[in-house]
Amino acid sequence: MVKYKFSSSNDLKKVYGNASIVNNKRIVFNIKENDYRLVVSVNFRRNACYTIWFGTHKQYDQIDVENVSYNLKL
């Protein structure tokens, strides 16, 4: 179920004001009063959002948010 359809990062910021726009596809959300960070890649044309990274604020400080990539550890 799609609740919102955003056509740009500016549209997204109107709803999620605490989101940080890193570049044209990467956005960071603060979760649980800034205890956690969620890094996503957004494709606005396809209305798709991909989880790139999730962790604590302390862990977030150790990554390069512009270059961190999805990594599946099995």
Q: Are 8 and 25 contacting, i.e. CB atoms less than 8 angstroms apart?
A: no
Q: Are 12 and 42 contacting, i.e. CB atoms less than 8 angstroms apart?
A: yes
Show the DSSP H helices in the chain as ranges: 9-15, 57-60
Domain that holds residue 31: 9-60
Total number of domains constituting the chain: 1
Length of the chain: 74
Residue 72, domain member (yes or no): no
Query: Is 49 in a helix, a strand, or coil?
Result: strand
Residue 20, domain member (yes or no): yes
pLDDT digits (tens, 9 = 90+) for 7-19: 999 999 999 998 9
Residue 21, domain member (yes or no): yes
Residue 66, domain member (yes or no): no
pLDDT digits (tens, 9 = 90+) for 23-74: 887 999 999 988 999 999 999 999 899 999 999 999 999 999 998 887 666 4
